[in-house]
Amino acid sequence: MTAIAVDVAAERLRWESAYRTAYPRVYRGLLALGARSDEAEDALQDAFVKGLERGIDRPVTSVDGWIFVVASRAWRGRRIRERIFLPWTLLRERETPTADATRDVLAALRRLSLRQRQVIVARYIVGLAQEETAELLGIARGTVSATTTQAIAALRRLMEVTE
Amino acid sequence: MTTPSEQWVVNALRQATDQLPLPPESRWIRERRSTSRLQPAVMAVLAAMFIVAVAGTIAALRAERIVPATPSEAFVAADDAAWQQVRAAMPADVLVLRPALLPVEFRTAGTPECPSPTASWQQMARTYDVVYRSGAIVGPQSKPENSTCVRLEFSIGRQVEGTVSPSLTEVGTISARGTSIRVRAGTEFSDRFTGVSRHLVYLNWTESGSFYEISTFDLDLPTLTAIVRSLEPVR
């Protein structure tokens, strides 16, 4: 095996290992954001391939965070395309809640704004620090803090109502 | 710092998400689409026919592949808008470089599935990107909704060049912009949607304190050279 081939294999293994470590948290985070399981799987696979193509040696704050942001972007892109191109009746069928809706806290989470969901998922499911969340989502640290507080308060209110 | 009641919400959220079942690990990575249940011999014949057809088409188009990037009013308007968006977003001292020549497949205003060109800020890379897309590819085994767009991407940023992944290998250089620009290619992979084998082509350079990247799939060196040498500042 040539030196280049060894480097390529090592790089791939390193990326795959990081990806597999991050997968459970990010997958569940995408479901919590509102993705269907097939959408979350596809989005994560997109992120894996993108990471392979672009290399992970670019300066990134957190591999988990990078995968989360890239995958959630891929999911939202697909969802937007579906909203534009799928007949409304089909879309309604596809969005029918499944067993997830029975979990109050996740049902409540899905009633928050997208930004609030992103911040909550990034902070508490993916496990990013406030600074990482701010950098990856392209918002100020203060905004992360304020959004977190508002979102948790809203979640608590929603859960009290549904209890 | 969270209060006990806030912590209760966070704990409930974590418990709920921990219970969400994961897909089997075999599905976590799917770089190669499982192709079909057809016999290997049939697949080989189909693949050979496909290669011959593609090769014939490429040969027919190669002579006039590179053309001025001004084909239709719709494209010109979209192209101007994209580059003016970048110009307006970047500091005045950053040279925004726009290609005057583009491969013929990127001269269209795109489709709803593959809008072209588009400009966007990439938070992760801290670059402004203009992406040209050509028509969606739908492989013989894939569904229309799983189509993928062929891309030609220009990135401009102020950051210092990041480390290039060792998975990219140097395949040539282009003398342009007063420097020697290294062209790198990724390992060939099978597009998971279309089943078509592709490889990433990537080149970058710094100029007047700014960072420039071009990334695409499968373009040959003469085409890339023509594109890079046609770059002109956006005023």
CB contact under 8 A, A23 and B165: no
In this prediction, residue A25 has a pLDDT band, given cuts at 50, 70 and 90, of very high
ipTM, two decimals, is 0.77
Question: Residues A69, A136: contact at Cβ < 8 Å?
Answer: yes
Question: Residues B193, A37: contact at Cβ < 8 Å?
Answer: no
User: B18 burial class (0-12, 13-18, 19+ CB within 10 angstroms)?
Assistant: exposed
In this prediction, residue A101 has a pLDDT band, given cuts at 50, 70 and 90, of very low
Please determine, for residue A139, whether its predicted confidence score (pLDDT) is greater than 80. Answer: yes
pLDDT computed for residue A27 by the predictor: 94
Please determine, for residue A146, whether its predicted confidence score (pLDDT) is greater than 90. Answer: yes
Mean pLDDT, rounded, for A30-45: 89
Q: Per mean pLDDT, which range of A94-98, B29-33, B164-168 is the poorest?
A: A94-98
Q: Which residues of B touch A136 (CB under 8 A)?
A: 123-124
Using CA coordinates, name the residue in chain A closest to B190. A49
Please determine, for residue B235, whether its predicted confidence score (pLDDT) is greater than 80. Answer: yes
In this prediction, residue A147 has a pLDDT band, given cuts at 50, 70 and 90, of very high
The alpha-carbon gap from A34 to the nearest alpha carbon of chain B, in Å, equals 12
Return the structure tokens found at B37.
């249940």
pLDDT computed for residue B55 by the predictor: 65
Highest mean pLDDT among A150-159, B1-10, B68-77, B130-139: A150-159
Enter the pTM of the model: 0.45
> Strand, helix or coil at A102?
helix
Convert the pLDDT of each residue in A52-99 to its tens digit. 776 645 445 578 888 898 898 888 887 776 656 544 444 443 443 444
Paired with B121 in beta bridges are B128
Mean per-residue pLDDT of chain B: 76
Please determine, for residue B96, whether its predicted confidence score (pLDDT) is greater than 90. Answer: yes
Q: How would DSSP label each residue in A128-157?
A: --HHHHHHHHT--HHHHHHHHHHHHHHHHH
Please determine, for residue B56, whether its predicted confidence score (pLDDT) is greater than 80. Answer: no
pLDDT computed for residue A143 by the predictor: 92
Mean pLDDT, rounded, for B17-35: 74
Question: How far is the C-alpha of A74 from the C-alpha of B193, rounded, in Å?
Answer: 14
Convert the pLDDT of each residue in A111-124 to its tens digit. 899 899 999 999 99
Question: Residues A101, A107: contact at Cβ < 8 Å?
Answer: yes
pLDDT computed for residue B139 by the predictor: 55
Mean per-residue pLDDT of chain A: 77
Question: How far is the C-alpha of A72 from the C-alpha of A27, rounded, in Å?
Answer: 10
Question: Residues B179, B203: contact at Cβ < 8 Å?
Answer: no
Q: Per mean pLDDT, which range of A11-15, A26-30, A85-89, B38-42 is the poorest?
A: A85-89
pLDDT computed for residue A102 by the predictor: 38
Q: From the CB of residue B126, how many other CB atoms can be counted at a distance below 10 Å?
A: 17
Mean pLDDT, rounded, for A33-50: 88
pLDDT computed for residue B61 by the predictor: 54
Interface of A with B in 57-86 (CB under 8 A): 57-60, 66, 69-70, 81, 84-85
User: Does the beta carbon of B23 lie under 8 angstroms from any beta carbon of chain A?
Assistant: yes
pLDDT computed for residue B161 by the predictor: 52
For an interface test with B, which of A17, A94, A105, A110 has the most B Cβ atoms less than 10 Å from its Cβ?
A105
Question: Among residues B203, B214, B94, which one has the least CA distance to residue B157?
Answer: B94
Convert the pLDDT of each residue in B120-140 to its tens digit. 887 666 778 898 888 666 555
**Count of pairs with CB atoms under 8 A, one residue in A, one in B:** 126
Q: Which residues of A94-131 are buried (b: 16+ CB within 10 A; e: fewer)?
A: eeeeeebeebbbbbbbeebeeebbbbbbbbbbbbbeee
Please determine, for residue B66, whether its predicted confidence score (pLDDT) is greater than 50. Answer: yes
Residue with tokens 């990439």: B122
pLDDT computed for residue B50 by the predictor: 78
Q: Which residues of B touch A49 (CB under 8 A)?
A: 31, 189, 192
